[in-house]
Amino acid sequence: MSTSHPRRGNTRQRIQDVALELFSEQGYEKTSLREIAEKLEVTKAALYYHFKTKEDIVISLFEDLRGPIDTLIAWGELQPRTLGTKQELIRRYSDSLRDAAPLFRFMQENQATVRDLAIGDTFKERMHTLFDLLREPEAELTDQVRCITALFSIHAGMFAMQNVAGDPEEKRRAILEVATELVTAANPPSHRRPARPDSAQTASS
Amino acid sequence: MSTSHPRRGNTRQRIQDVALELFSEQGYEKTSLREIAEKLEVTKAALYYHFKTKEDIVISLFEDLRGPIDTLIAWGELQPRTLGTKQELIRRYSDSLRDAAPLFRFMQENQATVRDLAIGDTFKERMHTLFDLLREPEAELTDQVRCITALFSIHAGMFAMQNVAGDPEEKRRAILEVATELVTAANPPSHRRPARPDSAQTASS
Amino acid sequence: MSTSHPRRGNTRQRIQDVALELFSEQGYEKTSLREIAEKLEVTKAALYYHFKTKEDIVISLFEDLRGPIDTLIAWGELQPRTLGTKQELIRRYSDSLRDAAPLFRFMQENQATVRDLAIGDTFKERMHTLFDLLREPEAELTDQVRCITALFSIHAGMFAMQNVAGDPEEKRRAILEVATELVTAANPPSHRRPARPDSAQTASS
Amino acid sequence: MSTSHPRRGNTRQRIQDVALELFSEQGYEKTSLREIAEKLEVTKAALYYHFKTKEDIVISLFEDLRGPIDTLIAWGELQPRTLGTKQELIRRYSDSLRDAAPLFRFMQENQATVRDLAIGDTFKERMHTLFDLLREPEAELTDQVRCITALFSIHAGMFAMQNVAGDPEEKRRAILEVATELVTAANPPSHRRPARPDSAQTASS
DNA sequence: AATGAATGAGGGTTCATTCAT
DNA sequence: CATGAATGAACCCTCATTCAT
């Protein structure tokens, strides 16, 4: 019985899956509830049984991310503000996003939409907190840029590199390496030997 | 007479201005032609006198960018593939974009939309060509990432840093510096001392 | 309850009825969906719940005809190609159309529209097949004309005779008689006794 | 000067030509003034210099027909109501239409449109008068049908036979022959031998 | 847990038409 | 003789949403 008709209590989940797929493929506005419903072979009205509005679907998608990131931030705030912490921070961040690639693609490609989606502010704020954990407020402008770029490369890197050959996981590691390098460069050893602004300490050690 | 009836030859331009403003503020899909028309105090139909379709307005906006970028690419292809060329390339690129900030914000925040806007492919291609001018095909994956990140930081940096205090032009220069640093690191001196490809040559000298 | 809220299962049918009425009265292009909707006291959107497009409404109208005509053609193709068959063919054809008068009026008066309505080709083809069942390919040109005229008179006759007094059913029979006469004349008794169906003296001399 | 720029005083004529071509090809409603203007490489506004409205263009097209037909009717009304007159009447009618084929195609295929185009009534009336000249009011219903069919076959025949092979002029003559035959049959010799109303007297007697 | 039927608002687009120049 | 610029009305269509069943 349960096997012949595979849709049971999982409809909510299936809606989320299809929605995320379509949102990230075509964009939020270009994806209509009709389309989602059709792909699921249910009625539009069925979607409304599970979600109050279209926006609610998106919100529910982001909820999966919120947990991990909040955890990450909480962790970060308890650590000492050392370079090591920062490096670990972005390592963990990159980790968190690995599974959430489609959602991030969606966020990345629909910023204009996400911006006024209420959830947008929430995330912007999270990003800002993360950014604050990475940078030194008093640091040079370039260092601030390095931190932001590090964060950004983690977000956007995967999609930007779709045309570049290579195993996804390898790519992610490469991106992480560069991001780490940037964070490292942005946090010069206040008392390390003045020299080296360089990079990629991670790998060498 | 000429003041009372504002029918001057500038309508097309005014449409572009308002459209770009609204597109980049609210997103492409969320901006209706009615809205644009109202802000201009003309009829929707007037827009259609000047542009064949909504998409056509966007296309016309992008056309302003095409020239400069094509020129840049043409220049790049004539130069020797040295580090100096590459550094100059992104310097010029950053320059080109300075005036086109709103358009780039639009592009950045409406990727999902731009993607299937036909003009999207054109630009993706341009990006790719630029990318090819920066990277060495045989280089390590991390170096490829550095190049892409450099390009990206120029695109997205300005908007990402809206919350960071500072003069826009100073920010731009900071971003350029980091981007240059990344490109430099990505193109290790084949014959420089074998050791560490350290970066930020620009600033230090 | 059922009377106060007329939401019954008949809306689709009602749309077809009203649409046919208006299409045949005013023409396809001159009839807007708004008009149809208003006459039905529903929203335009309601029409779209039942039909994918305006053209789809027309198609659905024609579908009622397709069956009978296809049946007729199928029958015709199984019969021997005798004069009797042909006479019976147009008798049955005239019968089929009796109930479809408004639809045929529509077709007759909106040929330019129907032509590029996709359904147009379908019907043209059916007409051609019918025509082929009536005529002898090797026959004189005048005989071909007789056959086509027979078919046409059945189509157009009713509308052409709206100003002529008389009971509709009587008119139909009169038209059928003339059409039969034409088909008969077009299929001269290769070797029938010389007597009868006059006409076409021209050829014989 | 006049040769290099071939449009001089003939613009009005050229508008009519193009309009008729497009109207009869695509239908009246489907043909926009923009389209006509584009094909002529003038502005829409230019059309309005020559014609007050879209409908005016159609009216002007029909004006070319009015003369010949009115002449024909005037002639017919002066003749004795003999079979010979009637035969001659449709012969002349067929002649008149020969040159006006596209216009008649337009009329034939856009009846719904023509109907409420004001000119429509005018033509309907003409048709009716012609019909009255052909038929005997007291005659049998079938005879009325014969007359109407005769008239109709002249109108519609050419287009209906587009798929039938043959020289256009030959087709026209064949149609005329059948039409004559019908009119002949519809006007039985009150005092000819009572028997069978055979037709096609034209050629014989 | 889901559907069938419908709505209201709005989308982009096209049209015939006008009028100052 | 013709254009450039614009309008107002209408068009077909799609959307997110609702609600009785």
| pLDDT digits 0-9 by tens, C151-160 | 999 988 888 8
Token output for A155:
């977000």
The answer to whether residues B200 and B187 touch, using CB atoms and an 8 Å cutoff, is: no
Strand E closer than 7 A to residue C11 Cβ = yes
CA distances from C181 to C90, C151, C192, D144 (A): 11, 12, 16, 14
Q: B112–A109: do the CB atoms touch at under 8 Å?
A: yes
Candidate from B27, B170, B198 with C-beta closest to A198: B198
Per-window interface: D 94-113 vs C, CB < 8 A: 106, 108-113
Nearest-angstrom CA–CA distance, B157 and A152: 9
Out of A107-111, A174-178, C160-164, give the one with best mean pLDDT.
A174-178
The answer to whether residues D15 and D51 touch, using CB atoms and an 8 Å cutoff, is: yes
Nearest-angstrom CA–CA distance, A23 and A59: 13
Token output for C17:
């009825």
pLDDT greater than 90 at residue D86: yes
| Segment D7-16 long-range contacts (CB within 8 Å, at least 24 positions apart) | D11/D40, D11/D42, D11/D46, D11/D50, D12/D50, D12/D51, D14/D40, D15/D40, D15/D47, D15/D50, D15/D51, D15/D57, D16/D57, D16/D60, D16/D61
Token output for A146:
């390095």
Nearest-angstrom CA–CA distance, D193 and A95: 108
The answer to whether residues D108 and D51 touch, using CB atoms and an 8 Å cutoff, is: no
Which residue, among A25, A123, A149, would best test binding to B if mutated, counting the most B CBs under 10 Å from its CB?
A149
Strand F closer than 7 A to residue D11 Cβ = yes
Per-window interface: B 144-183 vs A, CB < 8 A: 144-146, 148-149, 152-153, 156-157, 160-161, 163-164, 166, 170-171, 174-175, 177-178, 181-182
Q: D156–C153: do the CB atoms touch at under 8 Å?
A: no
Nearest-angstrom CA–CA distance, C132 and C146: 13
Residue-range domains of chain A with CATH: 55-190 (1.10.357)
Q: Which of B47, B43, B46, B45 is nearest to B19 (CA)?
A: B47
Token output for A50:
């599970």
Instruction: Output the pLDDT for position A190.
Output: 63
Residues 6+ apart with CB under 8 A from D197: C198, D184, D185, D188, D189
The predicted-structure confidence for D100-130, as pLDDT tens digits, reads as follows 888 888 988 999 999 888 888 888 899 899 9
CA distances from A193 to A87, A181, A198, C66, C190 (A): 20, 17, 12, 90, 117
Q: C148–D157: do the CB atoms touch at under 8 Å?
A: yes
Measured between CA atoms, how close is D8 to chain C, in angstroms? 33
Residues 6+ apart with CB under 8 A from D112: C26, C27, C28, C30, C106, C109, C110, C113
**Confidence class of residue A3 from pLDDT cuts 50, 70 and 90?**
very low
pLDDT greater than 50 at residue C4: no
Q: What is the tally of helices (H) and strands (E) in chain A? A: 11, 0
Q: Which of D163, A3, A152, D75 is nearest to C125 (CA)?
A: D163
> For chain A, what's the residue count?
205
Q: Which of A112, A26, A9, A23 is nearest to A62 (CA)?
A: A23
What does the buried/exposed string (b/e) look like for C162-184 if buried means 16 or more CB atoms within 10 Å of the residue's CB?
A: eebeeeeeebbebbbbbbbbbbb
pLDDT (mean) for D132-146: 91
Share of chain C above pLDDT 90, in %: 60
Nearest-angstrom CA–CA distance, A187 and A82: 9
pLDDT higher at B63 or A203 = B63
Nearest-angstrom CA–CA distance, B62 and B167: 26
Identify the three-state secondary structure at position A179. Answer: helix
Provide the 10 A C-beta neighbour count for residue A95: 13
Residues 6+ apart with CB under 8 A from C91: C176, C180
**Confidence class of residue A121 from pLDDT cuts 50, 70 and 90?**
confident
When the pLDDT of each residue in chain C is averaged and rounded to a whole number, the result is 87
Which chain A residue is nearest to residue B154, measuring alpha carbons?
A149
User: In the 8-state DSSP scheme, what is residue D8?
Assistant: S
Instruction: Output the pLDDT for position D21.
Output: 95
Whether chain B has a CB inside 8 Å of the CB on A120: the answer is: no
Task: Give the range among A30-39, C89-98, D181-190 with minimum mean pLDDT.
Answer: D181-190
The answer to whether residues C28 and D112 touch, using CB atoms and an 8 Å cutoff, is: yes
**Confidence class of residue D150 from pLDDT cuts 50, 70 and 90?**
very high
pLDDT higher at D202 or C175 = C175
Instruction: Determine which helix (DSSP H) or strand (DSSP E) holds D99, and give its type and residue range.
Output: none
The answer to whether residues B136 and B86 touch, using CB atoms and an 8 Å cutoff, is: no
Identify the three-state secondary structure at position C187. Answer: coil
- Report the nucleotide nearest the CA of residue B2, measured to C1': E20
Nearest-angstrom CA–CA distance, B168 and B57: 28
Q: B149–A185: do the CB atoms touch at under 8 Å?
A: no
Please tell me which chains touch D, using 3 or more CB pairs under 8 Å as the contact test: C
Token output for C23:
């299409």
Q: Do chains B and A touch (3 or more CB pairs under 8 A)?
A: yes
Q: Which of A22, A9, A21, A17 is nearest to A49 (CA)?
A: A9
Nearest-angstrom CA–CA distance, D45 and D39: 14
- Residue pairs spanning A and B at CB distance below 8 A: 145
Q: Do chains D and C touch (3 or more CB pairs under 8 A)?
A: yes
Rounded to 5 degrees, what angle do the CA atoms D181, D182, D188 make? 90
Cα atoms found within 13 Å of the Cα of residue D155, Cβ hemisphere only: 21
Q: Which of D198, D79, D95 is nearest to D146 (CA)?
A: D198
pLDDT higher at C32 or D205 = C32
pLDDT (mean) for C35-57: 97
Q: A171–B141: do the CB atoms touch at under 8 Å?
A: yes
Out of B162-166, C20-24, D136-140, give the one with best mean pLDDT.
C20-24
pLDDT in tens, chain B (205 residues): 444 445 557 999 999 999 999 999 999 999 999 999 999 999 999 999 999 999 999 999 999 888 899 999 999 999 999 999 999 999 999 998 888 889 988 998 999 999 888 888 888 899 999 999 999 988 999 999 999 999 999 988 888 888 888 898 999 999 999 999 999 999 887 644 444 445 444 444 3
Provide the 10 A C-beta neighbour count for residue C118: 11
